[in-house]
Each structure stands twice: as C-alpha cells, then as structure tokens.
Amino acid sequence: MVSSSVYSIRIDARVRKMIDEMQDKDLQNEIRTFIEQAVIRKRKEQLLQQARDRRHHALKGKPAAQLVREDRDAR
C-alpha cells in the first residue's frame, strides 16, 4: 500500500470559495492527479537533463577506439 502525506499550498481566497461552493466530489482527486502528473513530468525533465549533461561531459574524453588501442599497446 502506498503511503500518503499532506502538502499544503496557498491559493487565492476567491478560488477557495469557488471550490467550496462547487458540489464536485471528484475535484480533489482531479487536483491530486494534476499535481502528481506535473511532478512526474518535471522529474522526467530533470533526469533527462542530467543524462544529457553526463553524455556531454563523457563525449569530451578520448574516443573509445583510442582508449582500446592504448590499452592493447600497453600489453
């Protein structure tokens, strides 16, 4: 079972009043789903950027063929 926790955000009082006036019981679930999807999307973007940065730094080194040749010549 997945545990959950509370995360508070501040919203405009007018928006809160509109939410309270609505009779939509699924609104809380929709908001939760929206936040989860936004966090997952941002996390993917962050991981992709980290991978790009690592790849960029890895490409600055010697080519693999040169490293293999140096290793073979050293034997």
**Where do the domains of the chain lie?**
13-74
Mean pLDDT of the chain: 91
- Residue 31's CB: how many other CB atoms inside 10 A? 13
Evaluate if residue 33 carries a pLDDT over 90. yes
The pLDDT score that the predictor gives to residue 63 is: 79
Bigger pLDDT: 30 or 67? 30
Question: Using an 8 Å Cβ cutoff, are 64 and 56 in contact?
Answer: no
The pLDDT score that the predictor gives to residue 56 is: 84
Report residue 65 as tokens.
């063929």
pTM above threshold 0.75 = no
- Measured CA to CA, the distance from residue 43 to residue 16 in angstroms comes to 28
Question: Using an 8 Å Cβ cutoff, are 27 and 19 in contact?
Answer: yes
